[in-house]
C-alpha cells in the first residue's frame, strides 16, 4: 500500500507557489485539529474523525497533489504524535489517506473540476462523484486492515464502519465546499468561521459514538449481574452472543442485522433480572409446575424491558421475546412455528441450547461438541430450524470458535466445584473447601430453558448416568 501511495505522489502534477502552499498549510492545520479529536469506533484500534472535510476542501482549492500531501501529513502527525501508534500502523494510515485523497482528487479533475484560489467555481457534479469515491475507498482500505488485525471478515468490518454514517458523511462533505468558499473570499480569516462549527460537529459526532459504546457496556454489565446469581451460567450470554454473531455472518446478513442478532442474543435472558427469578436460578432440583410457568415468563419480561430503549425495539426486541418458540409450534410465549419465528429468535434458540448443553451444571457434566450437535440434529423440525442447525454444525469457522471456547473452560468436575463453593479460586491458586458434588450426565431429549431447569414441553425426558 505504501508503494501505491508513493507511486501516486511521484506521478502527480505538482503545481507549487507561495499562495498554494499557504492555502495547503491552512487546510492542513484544520485537518490536524479535526483528526486530533477523532473517536474510537469499537473495531480494534480504529478511529473516526471529520478530517475528510478539509481533505475534500483541499482538492477544490489546491488540487490533487497538494491535497494528497495534506491528507498524508495529517495522518502521519496524528498517528505518530497524538495516538502514538506503531510504525506499521502509522505507515498504513498515511498511505491509506494518500490513496483515498489522490483517487478522489484525480476523479474531480478528470470530470472537469478546476482547483482554484482566485475564484470559487467548483464543478458540483464532479465534487459529488469525488466524495462518493473517497468514502468507500477510505473505509474499504481501513476495513482491510481491521479484518486482518482482528480476524474479522472483510464484509463485516466494512459494514460496521459504514453502517449508520453514510448519510452523515455525505452531508458533512458539503461543508468542504463552504470551507473552500470562505478561504477564497476571506483567505486566512475565512477558515476561522468554519473551525468552530467543525469542532462542534465533531463533538456531537463523538458524543453519539460514545453514547452508543456506553450503552453497550451497560448492557454487558447488566447481563453479568444477572449471571452472577447463578455461577453455572457465568459467561453464558456472552458466548451465546458470539455464536449468534458467527451464524449471522455465515448467513451473509448485513452488518446492521448481524449487530441486532448479536445484541438480542446478549440480552436474551434479560427478563431474569427480576428478583422473583433468583430462587429459581439457584434451585438445583426439578422445577415445580408453578415455577416452570414463572420461568417461561422471562422472555416477555425481557422484551418489555427492552421496549423502553428505542434503539432496541424491532428486531432485537422480537429476538428476545421469541427465543423460546419451537420450530414445530409448541414453544412460548405465542406458539409461533416455522418462518413465523423471527430469524434472530431461531438463531438464539440453537446457540442458546448448544451452550447450555456444553456447560457443566449441578445435575450433569458438559456434553462434547459432537454430542451436543447430535442432540440438536435430533430435534430439527420440532424444536429448531433445520437449515440453521445444519449451518451451525457444518461451519468450520464456528467449530473452531467452539473448540477455542471449550478449551478455555476448566474440567467439568472443577466447574462444579468452583461454582458450588467446593473450591475457592484466586490469583494465587486454588484452595480446597470440601467435597464437590458428583456431576451427572443428562442425555437431553427436549429443548432446555437457558437456565437449564425446565423445557418447552414442561418436562424432562432424559437418562442420567453417574460419572
CB within 8 Å of 178: residues ≥ 6 apart: 194
Residue-level pLDDT at 48 = 64
Answer yes or no: are the C-beta atoms of 46 and 146 closer than 8 Å: yes
Cell for 78?
496524528
Cell for 289?
409446575
Q: Tens digit of pLDDT for each residue in 349-395? A: 999 999 989 887 666 678 888 999 999 999 999 999 999 999 999 99
For the ranges 69-73, 205-209, 402-406, the one whose mean pLDDT is highest: 69-73
Mean pLDDT is lowest, of 98-102, 401-405, 415-419, for 415-419
Within 187-254, residue ranges assigned H as helices are: 189-227, 236-250
Residue-level pLDDT at 162 = 60
Share of the chain above pLDDT 70, in %: 76
Residue-level pLDDT at 25 = 92
Answer yes or no: are the C-beta atoms of 424 and 433 closer than 8 Å: yes
Is the pLDDT higher at 410 or at 177? Answer: 177
Residue-level pLDDT at 427 = 31
Residue-level pLDDT at 462 = 31
From the centroid of its chain, how far is CA 275? 30
* Averaged pLDDT, 277-300: 85
Nearest one of 419, 401, 310 to 359, comparing CA atoms: 419
Residue-level pLDDT at 421 = 40
Band of pLDDT at residue 232, cut at 50, 70 and 90: low
Q: How far apart are CA 441 and CA 278, in angstroms?
A: 25
Residue-level pLDDT at 437 = 38
Second-level CATH architecture of 228-466: Orthogonal Bundle (1.10)
Q: Tens digit of pLDDT for each residue in 100-127? A: 999 999 999 999 999 988 888 889 999 9
pLDDT at 206 over 60: yes
> Phi and psi (nearest 5°) for 176?
-60, -40
Residue-level pLDDT at 416 = 41
Residue-level pLDDT at 142 = 82
Q: How far apart are CA 263 and CA 257, in angstroms?
A: 10
Q: How far apart are CA 432 and CA 417, in angstroms?
A: 9
Which segments within 245-349 are labelled E, that is strand? Answer: none
Helix (H) or strand (E) holding 26: helix 18-36
* Averaged pLDDT, 226-248: 80
Q: In the Cβ-directed half-sphere of 410, how many Cα atoms lie within 13 Å?
A: 14
Band of pLDDT at residue 35, cut at 50, 70 and 90: confident
* Averaged pLDDT, 299-323: 89
> Phi and psi (nearest 5°) for 306?
-65, -30
DSSP per-residue letters across 112-178: T----SS-----HHHHHHHHHHHHHHHHHHHHHHHHHHHT--HHHHHHHHHTTTHHHHHHHHHHHHH
Cell for 183?
478561504
Ranges of each domain in the chain: 2-212, 228-466
pLDDT at 2 over 80: yes
118-130 b/e (C-beta count within 10 Å ≥ 16 → b)? eeeebbeebbebb
Q: Tens digit of pLDDT for each residue in 241-260? A: 999 999 998 998 888 899 89
Q: Is 65 helix (H, G, I), strand (E, B) or coil?
A: helix
Cell for 102?
489522490
Taking domain 2-212, whether its CATH number is 3.30.930.10 is answered by no
Q: How far apart are CA 382 and CA 311, in angstroms?
A: 33
Domains 2-212 and 228-466 share a fold: no
Amino acid at each position: 500500500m505504501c508503494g501505491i501511495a508513493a507511486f501516486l505522489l511521484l506521478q502527480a502534477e505538482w503545481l507549487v507557489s507561495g499562495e498554494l502552499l499557504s492555502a495547503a498549510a491552512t487546510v492542513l492545520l484544520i485537518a490536524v485539529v479535526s483528526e486530533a479529536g477523532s473517536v474510537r469506533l469499537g473495531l480494534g484500534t480504529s478511529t473516526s474523525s471529520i478530517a475528510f472535510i478539509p481533505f475534500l476542501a483541499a482538492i477544490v482549492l489546491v488540487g490533487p497533489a497538494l491535497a494528497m500531501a495534506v491528507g498524508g501529513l495529517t495522518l502521519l502527525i496524528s498517528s505518530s504524535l497524538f495516538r502514538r501508534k506503531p510504525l506499521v500502523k502509522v505507515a498504513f494510515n498515511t498511505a491509506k489517506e494518500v490513496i483515498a485523497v489522490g483517487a478522489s482528487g484525480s476523479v474531480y479533475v478528470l470530470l472537469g473540476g478546476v482547483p482554484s484560489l482566485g475564484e470559487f467555481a467548483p464543478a458540483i457534479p464532479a465534487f459529488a462523484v469525488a466524495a462518493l469515491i473517497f468514502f468507500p475507498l477510505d473505509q474499504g482500505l481501513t476495513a482491510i486492515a481491521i479484518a486482518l488485525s482482528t480476524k474479522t471478515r472483510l464484509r463485516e468490518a466494512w459494514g460496521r464502519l459504514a453502517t449508520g454514517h453514510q448519510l452523515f458523511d455525505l452531508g458533512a462533505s458539503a461543508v468542504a465546499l463552504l470551507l473552500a468558499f470562505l478561504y477564497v473570499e476571506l483567505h486566512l480569516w475565512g477558515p476561522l468561521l468554519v473551525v468552530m462549527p467543525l469542532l462542534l460537529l465533531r463533538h456531537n459526532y463523538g458524543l453519539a459514538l460514545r453514547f452508543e459504546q456506553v450503552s453497550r457496556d451497560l448492557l454487558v454489565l447488566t447481563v453479568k449481574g444477572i449471571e452472577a446469581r447463578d455461577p453455572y451460567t457465568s459467561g453464558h450470554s456472552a458466548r451465546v452472543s458470539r455464536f449468534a454473531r458467527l451464524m449471522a455472518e455465515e448467513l451473509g446478513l448485513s452488518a446492521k442485522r448481524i449487530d441486532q442478532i448479536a445484541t438480542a442474543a446478549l440480552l436474551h435472558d434479560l427478563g431474569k433480572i427480576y428478583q422473583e427469578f433468583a430462587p429459581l436460578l439457584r434451585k438445583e432440583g426439578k422445577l415445580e409446575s408453578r415455577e416452570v410457568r414463572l420461568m417461561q415468563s422471562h422472555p416477555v419480561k425481557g422484551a418489555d424491558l427492552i421496549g423502553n430503549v428505542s434503539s432496541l425495539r424491532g428486531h432485537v426486541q422480537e429476538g428476545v421475546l421469541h427465543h423460546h418458540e419451537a420450530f414445530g409450534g409448541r414453544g412460548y410465549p405465542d406458539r409461533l412455528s416455522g418462518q413465523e419465528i423471527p430469524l434472530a429468535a431461531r438463531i438464539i434458540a440453537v446457540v442458546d441450547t448448544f451452550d447450555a448443553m456444553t456447560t457443566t451444571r449441578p445435575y450433569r457434566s458438559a456434553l462434547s461438541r459432537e454430542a451436543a450437535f447430535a442432540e440438536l440434529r435430533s430435534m430439527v423440525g420440532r424444536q429448531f430450524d433445520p437449515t440453521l442447525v445444519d449451518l451451525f454444525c457444518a461451519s468450520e469457522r464456528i467449530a473452531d470458535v467452539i473448540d477455542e471456547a471449550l478449551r478455555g473452560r476448566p474440567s467439568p468436575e472443577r466447574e462444579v466445584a468452583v461454582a458450588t463453593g467446593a473450591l475457592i479460586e484466586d490469583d494465587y491458586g486454588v484452595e480446597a473447601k470440601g467435597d464437590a458434588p458428583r456431576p451427572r450426565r443428562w442425555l437431553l431429549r427436549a429443548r432446555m430453558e437457558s437456565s437449564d431447569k425446565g423445557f418447552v414441553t414442561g418436562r424432562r425426558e432424559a437418562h442420567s448416568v453417574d460419572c
